[in-house]
């Protein structure tokens, strides 16, 4: 199942890329890592000059205990509001994966609603190469499936832009997933400090 979902994610992202002219397409590649985890994300904006829609996907592989892996595909509408530097957005994220608890492996399937916000000082009057981003994704029980009871994910990052195409950043991620599969109630709670790089094309 893990390999099938990875292949499906790759096909999805390739299809999204091929639907738009190359000169209109914008893509962000993000990689962050810690002591016992690695995480990657891809975000594709097919035609940002015409519509604020964004497609993407990502993965987390963690061996912090309990071991778990997560994949996702997502889309959102995020655009500038009030001032050019501030952007707000709303989207959906399809999450799949599994967590290895001592007594049982629990499957993760959820469709959280995602809220996004960003502030880019490069677009403000101070014009410095720093930006901030935050997101909150939540799926109650009605949007959680299989062994998953509910899903919560929070991100916040601060980036220093070396140039238009590359940035380094630090951040924090909070992940909480409750399970009730097989008559067992388990909970994954993972707080992680992030350090990573971002490339934009």
What pLDDT, on a 0 to 100 scale, did the predictor assign at position 185?
A: 87
In 82-125, where does DSSP find H-type helix?
none
CATH no. for residue 45?
Answer: 2.40.160
Q: Supply the pTM of this predicted model.
A: 0.84
Rounded to an integer, the average pLDDT of 129-134 is: 97
- In order of 28, 66, 99, the CA distances from 116 in angstroms are 16, 28, 26
Total domain count, the chain: 1
Q: What's the pLDDT tens digit per position in 64-98?
A: 878 999 999 999 999 999 999 999 999 999 999 99
**Domain that includes residue 27, residue range:** 2-200
Q: Rounded to whole angstroms, how far apart are CA atoms 19 and 16? A: 5
Is the distance from CB of 101 to CB of 65 less than 8 angstroms? Answer: no
Q: How many CA atoms lie within 13 A of 138 on its CB side?
A: 3
């Amino acid at each position: 199942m893990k390999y099938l979902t990875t292949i499906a994610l790759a096909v999805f992202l390739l299809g999204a890329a091929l639907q738009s002219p190359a000169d209109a397409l914008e893509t962000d590649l993000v990689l962050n890592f810690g002591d016992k985890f690695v995480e990657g994300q891809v975000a594709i904006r097919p035609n940002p000059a015409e519509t604020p829609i964004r497609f993407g996907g990502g993965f987390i592989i963690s061996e912090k205990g309990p071991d778990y892996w997560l994949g996702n595909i997502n889309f959102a509408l995020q655009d500038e509001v009030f001032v050019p530097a501030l952007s707000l957005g709303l989207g959906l994220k399809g999450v799949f994966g599994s967590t290895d608890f001592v007594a049982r492996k629990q499957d993760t399937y959820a469709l959280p609603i995602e809220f996004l916000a960003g502030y880019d000082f490069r677009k403000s009057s101070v014009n410095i190469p720093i930006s901030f981003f935050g997101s909150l994704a939540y799926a109650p029980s009605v949007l959680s499936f299989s062994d998953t009871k509910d899903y919560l994910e929070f991100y916040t990052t601060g980036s220093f832009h070396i140039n238009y195409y590359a940035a380094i950043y630090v951040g924090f991620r909070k992940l909480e997933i409750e399970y009730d599969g097989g008559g067992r109630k388990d909970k994954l709670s993972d707080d992680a400090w992030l350090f990573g790089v971002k490339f934009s094309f």
